[in-house]
Each structure stands twice: as structure tokens, then as C-alpha cells.
Amino acid sequence: MTSTVRLPPYYENHGFQPENFSSARQPVGANAYPQYLSTKAPSVPSYVPRVATYQSSTPVAHSSRRTCTSSIKKVIIIISSVLIVICCIIAAFFIWYFVENRCLGSLIECGSSGTCVLPSQWCDGVSHCPNGEDENRCGLFPFMVVRLSGPNFILEVYSPVSESWYPVCQDDWNDDYGKIACQDMGYSADTYYYSQGIATGVGFKSFLKLNTSAENIDLYKKLYVSDFCVSGNVVSLRCIKCGLSTKNVMSRIVGGSIASLGQWPWQVSLHVQGVHICGGSIIAPGWIVTAAHCVEGQLSDPYRWRVYAGILNQNEMFLKMGHRVQQIISHPGYDADSKDNDVALMKLEVPLTFTDNIRPVCLPNPGMTFQSDQQCWISGWGAEYPGGKTSNNLNYATVPLIERSRCNFIDIYNGIVLPTMICAGFLKGGVDSCQGDSGGPLVTYENSLWWLLGDTSWGTGCASPNRPGVYGNMTVFTEWIYKNMQANR
């Protein structure tokens, strides 16, 4: 962190390291979605009113009787016409409904043939559809692509059959299914938090429902598309208890402030040979997010690194062993010159044990949007002035997001801020990340949780006017992160 506003010669913001690492380190900063209807039309009573006739001792004028009979006929005609129109409308509705919804109730439509089968017949090893869709689709229905959407963590599953994402109806859903979905995103069942139903959004027109009649088959083979969700709720799934901090944060800090223990429990210090090189963020017990430029060249060897979590002071880290790194995965699209896709994952040999001082931050979900000027926080052990040494204490500061188009103004970064990057800082300068902060978190607080928006990537100078920090856009990288967590679980 830095609070000085100096105007050094133009240079890219390189992370601080001792001399033997100076050639391996690169710049810091980063920018950025049955009903159950009767199969028969209800019958409508149809009748002709009868007028009772009887003998009367009192004579009735002929003209008067003719007028009364005429009025009754008119009423009968009107009522009959109305009833006929009503019957036609009802009949037309049911004809339309049967054409559009050939499979009523809990039946599943085979395909273009219009044949309907029971859910228990779907994926049961016997072909019931004319073209075998009920069995052929079983190879496709392990959609296998799951994600959490929006700030409420709505579970969505991708179907390659319709090439669409569907929310999952809560009907018959339970935590056992939730754990399976979380494991398919790369999380361990040990970190599972909960699944619960929340009211469906107005944009949901179709859902995936569980076929509870299908026994002993894969979860995804039990799912089928339906236009109805009886409970009216979709699954909200939390695979890990993330985004919680035990300490409050001041609403605004100009410059930098020393952090307190538990305030940024996802922040880690990454060391090589006992020296702090970069920062990182905990996203799961065995996974750290950092910047790809931190692990270039000879620093791509995972066995050279040690990870320190839950410790504020660098001096204390020298007395600890640190956590060994088993694997380093850099984004395949990372470009060392432009800093495009500047993100990497570290997999630990032994997963972290979570405490009040060691906790994961939440990854942003598809569908979440963040506004310009949204308040964010940066933290790290970076230098307090350009070219300075790393700080012994963990510092933090608040910075607003800057719209990428604004950051690309000719007098700022002149078009070099890519969609995989986001800008944050003050155009007047004074507050910024600096050398040694690379790979560390840019977070924001929303819906009572802390979300990781970026990893510190690069910048020109530190806290200089019109040179805000640039960070890896985590909203772009979330899918890549989950895929790698799953593949290396």
C-alpha cells in the first residue's frame, strides 16, 4: 500500500523482490452473466328453458301473450349464443394446449415424435421412445457443467441438448444432491455449507426437475426439463462458507492502514526462500488464487514456494514453516507483455484448516454486476513508495472501481486495459497497490459477503495521478478456476 503521490520516471510497477529474483518478477495490477389439467374439456350444461302452460279461468289478451312469448325467445337465443361461444373458446383452448403440451402431468416427451413416457422409464435401460431418445440422451444428460449464479448462489445446470442453462427446482432436492453438485465444481464435500430453496426469479421460464422414480443412476440423468416447479423455489447452493470476516472495516481510508488479525482472513503471503514475493487469496482449503506474472519462469516450480496464512507480520512468518505448494496452474492465455489473463492457481499439498483468521473469500458468480465507483478494498505487504521494500505489516486501503472505458482514456492507459482487467483507484493518485502487492486481493462487500473481484496485476508507478491500479478480472476467470479445481480435485 502507498499513500505518497510522487511522479517518478515512467516505469511499469514491478513487484519487490531481492536481487536474485528481480528478473523473474513482472508488473502489478487488473478490469472486467404440470399443472394438472383434465384431459377432457369440462361439459357445459345446455338446455332450452321451458315455459309452463296451464288453463286459466281468467282470459288473457292475445296481443299481450304474443309480446311475452317473443321476449322469451329472444332471451333463449341470447343465452344459447353465449353458451355456444363459451364452449367454442374452451374447446379451442384445450385443442391449443394439447398441441403445445402433448405430455401432461409428469410425463416426459420423447422428441419430435410426440410420444410420452413415464419418468420411471427414462434412462432405465429399455428404449420406450420411437427413436430411443429416452436412453440415447442419457449419454448427454450428464450435463456435467454446473455453476452458481448471482449473489444468491442459484444452482444452474447446462444442458447440451438445448444449449441452455437451467435453474434447478427445489422439488425433492436435498443436501446429498447438493454435495454432488459442489464436488463437480471442484469443492470437497467437507466444505459443504448448505442448499436451500429461494423464490424463483421472474426470468425463469423452464427448470430442471428431479425424476425421483429413477433409482441408482447419476444425478444428472435424473434431471429433466419442465415448465413447472411445484414448490415455486429454486436451489440456492453454498459449497463453502466464504466471504466472512470477524472484524469490521472503516468506511473509508485514505492512504493505507495496518490490518488487524481476522480482518482479511483470505489474504496469504507467498514466499520463496524465506522472502515475500507476492500475495494471494484463499478460495478453498487447498486452493490459492494469485497472479500469473508471480509464477513465471523459474518461479513456476511449485516446490520453491511457501504459503503463509493467518499471520499479519512478515517477521513472524520467518519462524513458521509455511504450507507447501503441490501444483501451480497458470492461465493458458496469459500474455507476459500485455498481462492479459494474469491469473494463476496454487494447489497446496495439505489443505488449510479454517479458523477465525483463515477463511476463504467468495468467487463472484455469473450474473453479478459491479458498478463504477463501487467501493473496494486492497490489501498486502507491498512497498509504501515506488522501489521501496515490502512492509513488515499487512496494510489495506479502500479504492473505487473505475469503468474500463474511462481507464482507457488517452491520458490514462490509452486503450491497453483489456476485458480481462479492471481498474480501481483514484485518478488524483495517493492510494494504490505497489511492489509486493501482486497477486493479492481486490475485494468488495455486497449482500453481507466479501467477494473477490480481482488479483493485483500491474500499474505504472504507485499512486501516481491518472495511473490507477489494474487487476485481473475475476468475473472472467471464475469458470476457468472451477474447471481446474474439478480436474485436479
Known catalytic residue at 342: yes
> Does 139 have pLDDT greater than 50?
no
Check whether residue 297 and residue 422 sit in a common domain: yes
216 and 233 Cβ atoms separated by less than 8 Å = no
Q: Is residue 109 part of a domain?
A: no
Closest by CA to 309, choosing from 277, 257, 268, is 268
Task: Determine which of 8-17, 154-163, 194-203, 211-220 has the lowest per-residue pLDDT on average.
Answer: 8-17
Q: Is residue 194 part of a domain?
A: yes
List C-alpha distances in Å: 211 to 182, 215, 362, 485: 20, 9, 32, 29
Check whether residue 350 and residue 431 sit in a common domain: yes
Check whether residue 271 and residue 347 sit in a common domain: yes
> Does 25 have pLDDT greater than 50?
no
Give pLDDT, residue 218.
78
Q: How far apart are CA 210 and CA 290, in angstroms?
A: 38
| Residue 69 pLDDT level (bands cut at 50, 70, 90) | low
Give pLDDT, residue 125.
63
Boundary residue ending a domain (217, 238, 259): 238
CB atoms within 10 A of CB 117: 18
Task: Determine which of 272-276, 317-321, 455-459 has the lowest per-residue pLDDT on average.
Answer: 317-321
Give pLDDT, residue 68.
47
Q: Is residue 177 part of a domain?
A: yes
Check whether residue 267 and residue 230 sit in a common domain: no
Number of domains in the chain: 2
278 and 440 Cβ atoms separated by less than 8 Å = yes
Q: Is residue 82 part of a domain?
A: no
> Does 167 have pLDDT greater than 90?
yes
Q: How far apart are CA 33 and CA 290, in angstroms?
A: 23
Q: 199 lies in which domain range? A: 120-238
Boundary residue ending a domain (198, 216, 238): 238
Segment 135-163 mean pLDDT: 73
244 and 359 Cβ atoms separated by less than 8 Å = yes
Give pLDDT, residue 438.
95
Known catalytic residue at 293: yes
- Candidates 342, 432, 437, 455; catalytic one: 342
Share of the chain above pLDDT 70, in %: 74
Check whether residue 351 and residue 455 sit in a common domain: yes
The pLDDT mean for the chain works out to 79
Segment 59-70 mean pLDDT: 40
Check whether residue 223 and residue 161 sit in a common domain: yes
Give pLDDT, residue 119.
54
Q: What is the CATH number of the domain that holds 343?
A: 2.40.10.10
Give pLDDT, residue 148.
95
> Does 484 have pLDDT greater than 60?
yes
> Does 198 have pLDDT greater than 70?
yes
| Per-residue pLDDT tens over the stretch 337-386 | 999 999 999 999 999 999 999 999 999 999 898 989 999 999 999 988 77
DSSP secondary structure letters along 144-180 = -EEEEETTTTEEEEEETTTTEEEEBB-TT--HHHHHH
- Candidates 14, 271, 276, 293; catalytic one: 293
* 474/39: higher pLDDT: 474
Give pLDDT, residue 170.
94
Q: Is residue 424 part of a domain?
A: yes
> Does 120 have pLDDT greater than 80?
no
Q: Is residue 104 part of a domain?
A: no
DSSP secondary structure letters along 215-233 = -SS-GGGGEEEES--TT-E
Give pLDDT, residue 386.
78
Return the C-alpha cell found at 192.
459443504
- Candidates 438, 455, 457, 464; catalytic one: 438
Segment 64-90 mean pLDDT: 69
List Cβ neighbours of 378 (8 Å cut-off, separation of 6 or more): 1, 396, 397, 398, 399, 424, 433, 437, 440, 441, 442, 456, 469
Check whether residue 342 and residue 269 sit in a common domain: yes
Check whether residue 184 and residue 322 sit in a common domain: no
Segment 318-339 mean pLDDT: 95
Give pLDDT, residue 251.
36
> Does 332 have pLDDT greater than 80?
yes
* 35/331: higher pLDDT: 331
Check whether residue 210 and residue 354 sit in a common domain: no
Give pLDDT, residue 444.
97
Give pLDDT, residue 409.
97
Check whether residue 279 and residue 379 sit in a common domain: yes
> Does 55 have pLDDT greater than 80?
no
Give pLDDT, residue 387.
78
Measure CA 461 to chain center: 34
Helix boundaries (H) for 30-174: 62-100, 133-136
Q: What is the CATH number of the domain that holds 132?
A: 3.10.250.10
Q: How far apart are CA 363 and CA 121, in angstroms?
A: 39
Give pLDDT, residue 163.
79
Boundary residue ending a domain (183, 217, 238): 238
| Per-residue pLDDT tens over the stretch 275-307 | 999 999 999 999 999 999 999 999 999 999 999
Q: Is residue 405 part of a domain?
A: yes
* 478/136: higher pLDDT: 478
Give pLDDT, residue 133.
59
Segment 449-469 mean pLDDT: 95
Check whether residue 456 and residue 313 sit in a common domain: yes
Q: Is residue 60 part of a domain?
A: no
| Per-residue pLDDT tens over the stretch 409-447 | 999 999 999 999 999 999 999 888 988 999 999 999 999
Please state the pTM of the whole predicted model: 0.72
> Does 161 have pLDDT greater than 70?
yes
Check whether residue 483 and residue 338 sit in a common domain: yes
Return the C-alpha cell found at 160.
447440451
